[in-house]
Amino acid sequence: MKLALKELRRRPGRFATATVILTLIAILLMFLGGLLDGLIASSTGAIRAQNADAIVYSDTAQASFLRSRIDPALRAQVEATDGVTEVGGIGNVQLGARVPGNGPRDLASVALFGYELAPDGVPDAPPYGQAWADESIEADGVEEGMIIEVGPARTPIEIIGFVEDTSFNGQSSLWASPDTWRDTLSANRPDAQLGPDVFQALIVRGDGDDLPAAIDAATDGATDSYTVDEAIDAIPGVTEQQATFNQIIGVTVAIALVVIGLFFALLTVERTSLYGVLKALGARSSTIFAGLVAQAVVVTAIAALIAGTLVVLLDVLLPPGSIPLLITPSRIILSVVLLLVAAVLGCSFSLRRVLRIDPASAIGTTS
Amino acid sequence: MFLAFKEMARAKVRFALLIAAIALLVFLILFQQSLQNGLITGFIGAIREQNAPVLVYSVDGQRVIQGSVITPDMEADVLAAPGTGEVGPIGQGTFTGLPSGNTDGETFDTTLIGYELGPDGNGIGAPSTVVDGRLPTADDEAVVSDADVQLGYGIDDTVTLLPGGKEITIVGVAENAQLNVSPTLFVSYETYLEAVKSVNPDAGTPLPNVLGVIPAEGFTPDEAVASINEQSLTLDALTKDDAAAETPGVAQVQQSFNIIFLLYGLVVPCVTGLFFLIVTFQKANSLTLLRAIGAPAGRLVSSLLIQVVVIIGLGLLVGTLLYYPVSQQALGGISLQFETAAVIFWSVLLLSLGVLSSLVAARRVLKIDPIEATTGQGVGS
């Protein structure tokens, strides 16, 4: 092992090309993962923030706020379900917002929520005409105390503070009272307006093993209820995005495995005679192989370190709103772990060659 | 050449590993190219494939059809613009659709695009290319995008919108005309209005989401766009190609994929270059000996380059063969297509980059001094 690490120190150039390739692959892995996390986070923040045991839509809504409609009678059925302790209405409308100081064609995309039960990190619903805003809207120049005009009807909404990680469908969310939301919806989207006390969905808290199923049973199938995790997965595109990106990440890890396998297999072939000498001197195959693994791990770790730094730098340098990249420590750690596993597995291709080296070959083969 | 092939035949595993690595990379690049194009076509194909050369959004819509609302005042401004010829309202909404052609009883997010049919169904906003059946000529008839037929949206099938139960019969199939990566139906404007009312009894009468505009005689689409945008700061006129390209999300998808392609494009020549450099190091003594017994350097280099071309060529072939069956599938709601142009582009690019990267190894070969055969040193020294 010491010999292997010494070789890395003395002849780093020998490993430079493999390090460069692995760095590129590590950047790819982290970038792909960051892109997936960014896309999912910007689409699902508002749902993730819900402190709920069930989110209830109407039966044909396909978990879409815009297509869901829960009238007071249906709500009463939900409230009467065994295990339900709290029920709050929620609704959403996605509009453009005019920000003071921005150009007349430079609008911010917002998703205005009206809510009765506050999500995690969001205070109770503010008075009429006011809203808490997701901090992502700050990139559009919105500041606390500012009054923005929402939708073609230019409904004024005063921003009274910011909350974190509550984006929805890639848009900055605004959190307002049900009346603010309902009036904004009617004024700007008459085709989607809802009657008094009608909500798009319900946030339900309670106990019981399977509250969503209990609610759907109690309403005789007039509702379509989800846990928070299920509601996130039910957002159109989320599952597909995750499946596609995970497949691409998987194949990229396989490529890393092949590259490492190729590199160390060739390195082993090149050093067969030297390993023969080492074996003749008493070195065991396991020691030689451990040295190879140590080299692969170190090369991969260096590549991952460089890649991690570059990806974080890229994340910092990217202008807000250009690419939905979200680099998190957990994503970097996962990428590094995947690469290290690939490194060890790739290296194991050389194990057979190391085992086959005959110490007798040392005689007369090295110059 | 003989030497190049003989060496490859003797070290099958070594070269097969490299071919496998390149094939996987090629497969990934081509698959992602199809995914990108399929995603974008599924996302905004309907905008590209409808027949109005100019689309007018409200600025508030931020270039999302469903988010845009055209008030009567805005419509008057559009009609007053010198570049405006004919104008037609276009409405769009997403509904829950139950197609009769799907025996599982599965429901799908279904996009309705309503336009004024005109006498033959070819009004402003109609799909440009109908590949099967005909355009709708009456209310409750629809043309569907070709990608949706496999989901049960075939000709003569009916789609029931839920709740409300409004039924629409499919009479034609248009090419690449999806919107929002969901089954997309082109229907009469009246059918669209009825659909909105059927699913939400509280709904008011929807205003048009966008206006389709045919430029006045003597005006190009670009001139009509400029003319309409000058009329009002609340109007956002775009040619249909610009409207498609500038739909929120499209540019981000392209940028993200371009970065991914760039990285994959860099990995292929690096892997190839590394491989042949190492192989050249390994063969140092043999190459020196060959030079010493009179083999010209040019022949050794050409042997190396032949190996590079063959290896990358086989990698491209295997990668493309892996890609072909995948490109015939649909992924989620995204219909993939075999991208011939992408195969050619990436083949030429990767082959060129691969050959370029192997020049480092070729330089090593050219530096071999035959006299070193007598000292035991080679290119590896």
What residues of A are in contact with residue B67 (Cβ under 8 Å)? 94-96
Q: Are residues B107 and B32 in the same domain?
A: no
Domain count of chain B? Answer: 2
Give helix A285-317 / helix A272-280 axis angle, nearest 10°: 130
Of B215, B240, B265, the residue at which a domain comes to its end is B240
φ and ψ at B117, to 5 degrees? -65, -35
Residue B381 has pLDDT above 50, yes or no: no
Q: Are residues B62 and B199 in the same domain?
A: yes
Q: Are residues B192 and B260 in the same domain?
A: no
Alpha-carbon dihedral B354, B359, B360, B364, rounded to 10 degrees? 140
pLDDT tens digits, one per residue of A118-171: 999 999 999 999 999 999 899 899 999 999 999 989 999 999 999 999 999 888
pLDDT tens digits, one per residue of B146-183: 989 989 999 999 999 998 899 999 999 999 999 988 89
- Say if CB A141 and CB A101 are below 8 A apart: yes
What residues of B are in contact with residue A248 (Cβ under 8 Å)? 28, 31-32
Q: Are residues B53 and B134 in the same domain?
A: yes
- Closest partner residue to B21 (CB to CB) among A186, A239, A262 is A262
Closest CA of chain B from A264, distance in Å: 11
What residues of B are in contact with residue A151 (Cβ under 8 Å)? 60
Alpha-helix residue ranges (DSSP H) falling in chain B: 2-10, 12-49, 72-80, 189-199, 221-231, 240-245, 250-282, 284-292, 297-327, 340-366
Q: Are residues B120 and B182 in the same domain?
A: yes
Task: Please judge whether A104 and B71 are an interchain contact, meaning their C-beta atoms are less than 8 angstroms apart.
Answer: no
B67 inside 8 A of chain A by CB: yes
Task: Please judge whether B181 and A237 are an interchain contact, meaning their C-beta atoms are less than 8 angstroms apart.
Answer: yes
What residues of B are in contact with residue A236 (Cβ under 8 Å)? 109, 182
For A99-234, list the strands marked E by DSSP: 107-115, 130-134, 147-150, 155-163, 172-176, 201-206, 223-226
Which structural domain range is residue B38 located in?
2-43+250-374
The question of ipTM being above 0.85 is answered as no
User: What residues form DSSP beta bridges with B91?
Assistant: B114
What b/e string do you get for B224-237 counting C-beta neighbours within 10 Å, with b at 16 or more? Answer: bbebbbebbebbbb
Closest CA of chain A from B334, distance in Å: 10
Task: Please judge whether B259 and A31 are an interchain contact, meaning their C-beta atoms are less than 8 angstroms apart.
Answer: yes
pLDDT tens digits, one per residue of A288-347: 888 888 988 999 999 999 999 999 999 888 876 667 788 999 999 999 999 999 888 888
Question: Which pair of structure tokens corresponds to residue B8?
Answer: 């490859």
B69 SS3 class: coil
B234 inside 8 A of chain A by CB: yes
Task: Please tell me the predicted confidence (pLDDT) of residue A366.
Answer: 46
What residues of B are in contact with residue A269 (Cβ under 8 Å)? 14, 282
Q: Are residues B205 and B84 in the same domain?
A: yes
Average pLDDT, chain A: 88
What residues of A are in contact with residue B61 (Cβ under 8 Å)? 96
Of B240, B273, B300, the residue at which a domain comes to its end is B240
pLDDT tens digits, one per residue of A54-110: 999 999 998 889 889 999 999 999 999 999 999 999 999 999 999 999 998 899 999
Q: Are strands B166-174 and B158-162 parallel, antiparallel or unpaired?
A: antiparallel
Q: Are residues B119 and B27 in the same domain?
A: no
Q: Are residues B77 and B37 in the same domain?
A: no
Judge whether B290 lies within some domain: yes
Q: Are residues B158 and B257 in the same domain?
A: no
Task: Please tell me which residue of chain B has the smallest CA distance to A325.
Answer: B256
Give the DSSP letter of residue A67. T
Closest CA of chain A from B22, distance in Å: 9
Judge whether B82 lies within some domain: yes
Apex CA A40: angle with CA A35 and CA A43, to 5°? 125
Distant-in-sequence, close-in-space partners of A352: CB < 8 Å, separation ≥ 6: none
What residues of B are in contact with residue A348 (Cβ under 8 Å)? none
| Domain assignments of chain A as residue spans, ordered by start | 2-43+238-362, 54-226
Q: Which of A167, A266, A335 to mutate to test the interface with B (most CBs of B within 10 A)?
A: A266
Q: Are residues B100 and B39 in the same domain?
A: no
Whose CA is closest to A86, among A58, A123, A55?
Answer: A55
Sign of torsion, CA B92 B96 B98 B103? positive
Q: Are residues B145 and B117 in the same domain?
A: yes
Distant-in-sequence, close-in-space partners of B344: CB < 8 Å, separation ≥ 6: none
Cis amide leading into B163 (omega within 30): yes
- Closest partner residue to A236 (CB to CB) among B60, B109, B203 is B109
Of B240, B275, B307, the residue at which a domain comes to its end is B240
User: What residues form DSSP beta bridges with B335?
Assistant: B330
Q: Are residues B61 and B33 in the same domain?
A: no
